[in-house]
Structure 1
């Protein structure tokens, strides 16, 4: 099967059944991962009570995406993507089984959990990159924004349901039983991948050496850098992460210091944000966005700015105003992100998508630890609320700046850089 034939196949409604069969399995996988992630962090919280340990656990989870992400993308572009997803889900399940055995033997300690968090994150990076890079080969181009919206909505649902389900299961099951949920959901994710074929693009073949992988990474960096619109879009995403994440990391302090609230009020704030993501994702799935997708993203940035501004401007006695702001921010999150994924899937060469997606995640994700280091001392000097104002202003500036930048506005029509790879037979999943 050649790539042209694959593209023809996704132009009819026939694409929907196999795609959503696979997609449904991945939702189960995400839910199981959310349950286990919450459970492991809570175990560390109960056993250590250390902020340093929890911070270290967060950084361990970030490392594969930020440090190894570009190399993962290069490998995904060479390997069969369906097999990558099967192996990634299987790796996560095997790691969980090891943890279950340690729990049975009474030997579970902090260090195996750190190792598990690292390996689970690594499997997640492989899986996310392979899945995102495969969507353009399975979904018609005019449906990409809708699919991205549905994806965002379901991830929002998982973010809401996962922790609640984990808390419930931890109350009725032994710890090993909670972990076993992940093994079951991993099986449900792998099963559709064993049945449905996923087309792969023209590939450069098997990995010959470390040098060849490094060459692929350099080629990915060169590809992004030579495409002005895509490069500027990556810069925008990095800046947005840098401004946005500290505000949310400091939200517990906003609730306790400004609104004089507690865990319940913080839970409401986070739940409203999660509910907003679901609403926004479903709205994008139904609407599909503007014909020129980048305009949808710019509109979403303005909506996020308004939501963050409401949180910043809410008086101490008006938590409801902040809740409305969190809901509005959540609604616009998929409106911003969904079209960006669709643009990359529609415009980037299939043989480069693994590297491009991993580079976007790695570089924009690297801004998060840096912003966290800056956010704490800054909040001590000028207060927590100011970060929400900074994030709101940043969204406005990025939205206006993007709308006035021809390379970004014309990204979907701009000539792509040439992919300099050797021709090789296509690989069918």
Structure 2
């Protein structure tokens, strides 16, 4: 294999990023269209929700093993094979549609296969990004990755609804296929750096199980990074409660049109935050940004639950998603800088598993708490109607508003407690960078 020295710059990442963004838009459009198709066929919200479960659960369960395999494999080849697998998955869906054999259970299988491939694709993408750009540009690179997700999140429902109307579901799937081929072409046009295993990593190559375990032991040996992971997981859990109940909160006093506008404002907050970070790169002291962003998120959640004034909700939800974007990017960059490149696949997969697993837990407890505890408390004749009801109102949705205020207060409290832990607060100072400033990676053919 020939090797040559990489020229530092953003161009290789730009090419890969463009391909991955188009791929995300394509898969997002198909996911939206399949959800609509299932709901139109069944009229069942449960069947609709099962698509989301099928799209998330395999990735969560497989990520630790997938991360260990990603560290063994060539990152570029892993991404190409994952994209080819996704294209074949979409081709199977298109074939079922063409012969009229598509059934509901096929959708769950297709979604589960796509989720399985994502478990390999995403850790390889993030790990490769660490070496595709110079260390000083990791903040900008993180902003680009977040921006690609935000653009897909904004574009997929709008484009998907139009395509579903004019070219039907089979045309949507063919559009997804074209998006995957674009992503594969982009990957084929860029050389990826070769990741050299660390001495500690070499000792763990005897078995896959030991490699998975090594990812966890590596993380637990770095108390600052472990604290950051726990802090981020707590943020995800609290945000998950807010995310799942925001729709019912708004619909309790307004229309679906207003909800759509507010969700678009939320997407704009994510997108603008990502653009700002991709241009700026973030502050030198990223932990300061992490704590500040989390604190502001707590304030925004508290404000969102306190009233029903739409402009105030719009401002709060925009700032919340802007700050969440900064929080996510700064956290990712800290991990990229402090974790050895040879184990980043495992660490990012483990990080994704832990943080993603907090979301289903949040979803499971949020609904029952709202329906059976907080909503009854804030009814006109409820126990808190004469006290808190005087400040935030009573009736439908005000119990959810009270939940938001409690979650906001908890977010502020968690931030204050986390700040007191010196290993977390000083993680950037106490842990040396795993990537040298003058890194010049060799490129694979």
* TM-score of the pair, normalised by structure 1: 0.90
Residue in structure 2 matched with residue 233 of structure 1 by the alignment: 228
Change (3 A) 1:355 1:397: same
1:255 maps to which of 247, 250, 256: 250
Q: How many residues align?
A: 409
Which segment is superposed worse, 381-390 or 350-359?
A: 381-390
C-alpha distance in structure 2 between counterparts of 1:288 and 1:21, whole Å: 19
* Alignment-derived partner of residue 352 in structure 1: 343
1:221, CA displacement in angstroms? 0.6
**Counterpart selection for 1:21 from 15, 33, 40:** 15
Gap regions ≥5 residues in structure 2? 375-398, 435-441
- Determine the structure 1 residue equivalent to 2:312: 321
* Contact 1:80/1:427 (<8 A) preserved: no
Equivalent position SS for 2:194:
strand
The TM-score, its normalising length taken from structure 2, stands at 0.87
CA displacement, residues 212-271 of structure 1 (integer Å, 9 cap, x when unaligned): 1111110001011111011111111111111111211112211222x2x22211111211
- Could you tell which deviates more after superposition, 147-156 or 364-373? 147-156
Q: Say yes or no: does 1:337 pair with 2:331.
A: no
Alignment counterpart, residue 77 of structure 1, candidates 67, 71, 81? 71
State the Cα distance separating 1:31 from its structure 2 match.
0.7
Hey, what's the Cα distance between the residues in 2 that align with 1:372 and 1:57? 15
Residue 423 of structure 1 corresponds to which residue in structure 2? none
Contact 1:224 1:231 in 2 (8 A): yes
Distance 1:101 1:154 in 2: 29
1:38·1:166 contact (CA, 8 Å) conserved in 2?
yes
Cα contact 1:348–1:416 (8 A) shared by 2:
no
**In structure 2, C-alpha distance between the alignment counterparts of 1:99 and 1:247, rounded to whole Å:** 34
User: Which residue is equivalent to 1:187?
Assistant: 181
Alpha-carbon distance in structure 2 between the residues aligned to 1:145 and 1:328: 20
State which of 139, 147, 150 in structure 2 corresponds to 1:145.
139
Give me the whole-angstrom Cα distance separating, in 2, the residues matched to 1:270 and 1:211. 48
Deviation at 1:416, TM superposition (A): 6.8
For residues 347-395 of structure 1, what are the alpha-carbon distances to aligned partners after superposition, in whole Å with 9 as ceiling and x for unaligned?
Answer: 1000110011010110111111112111111101112123322332233
Out of 248, 257, 265, which is 2:258 matched to? Answer: 265
C-alpha distance in 2, partners of 1:410/1:289? 17
Describe the superposition over 1:18-47 as per-residue Cα deviations: whole angstroms up to 9, x where unpaired: 221111111111110110110111111111
Please say if 1:428 is aligned against 2:444.
Answer: yes
Q: Which has the larger radius of gyration?
A: 2
Q: CA offsets per residue over residues 141-174 of structure 1, 9 Å max, x none? A: 1111122123222321211111100001011102
Change (3 A) 1:65 1:210: farther
State the alpha-carbon separation in 2 of the partners of residues 344 and 2 from structure 1: 30
1:415–1:346 distance in 2 versus 1, CA, 3 Å: closer
